[in-house]
Structure 1
């Protein structure tokens, strides 16, 4: 009877450890996908977008800007919206963006 209790206790401990490990992994993945939307963070992304366009010295697509600025496409779009509103950007006929 003691062997059965020990085996059951060991299995329960392993299950808890496995669940905790999965929970931690899930939390880490979820944290990477969080996008904080407020004026300060969007302003910083706008700065990243502006610097990427200034460094390129040519019109770029949204995907190219995201790659050069090393930010996500969503962050790029938020930054572009900010800069368009300020009148700092122009779009070209081929869906590329250039500094005004």
Structure 2
């Protein structure tokens, strides 16, 4: 009878671990989803611009994303928008600064 309890506890632990992994994967997938439309990208461009204006120095994509509290993908979309408008300059060290 003791063997059944041990097996059951082990199975329950494995099930909880599997469920936790699925939950994490689902959250990460939801986080990576970016609505690609002009309105959303325009808002992300505004977030990027405000972050660069507040920093008053060149920042990397990762630094902008962290400071603006948006994903790297959203940051890149915003950067593309701002580059197209001529509001940004790239630096030799892969950073971006306001033009």
Q: What's the TM-score once normalised by structure 1's chain length?
A: 0.70
How far residue 90 of structure 1 moved from its aligned partner, in angstroms, is 0.2
**Equivalent-residue separation in structure 2 for 1:40 and 1:57 (angstroms):** 26
2:77 paired residue number:
78
Secondary structure at 2:86 match in 1: coil
- 3-state SS of 1:98 partner: strand
Structure 2 CA distance, aligned partners of 1:49 and 1:32? 18
Number of matched pairs? 79
Q: For 1:55-98, what per-residue CA distance to the aligned partner results, in whole angstroms no more than 9, with x for missing partners?
A: 00000011000011100000000000000000000001111100
Q: Determine which structure has more spread, i.e. the larger CA radius of gyration.
A: 1
Gaps of 5+ in 1: 1-21
Cα RMSD (Å): 2.0
Change (3 A) 1:92 1:38: same
Partner Cα distance (1:31, 1:96) in 2:
28
After TM superposition, what 4+ stretches of structure 1 lie above 6 angstroms from structure 2? none
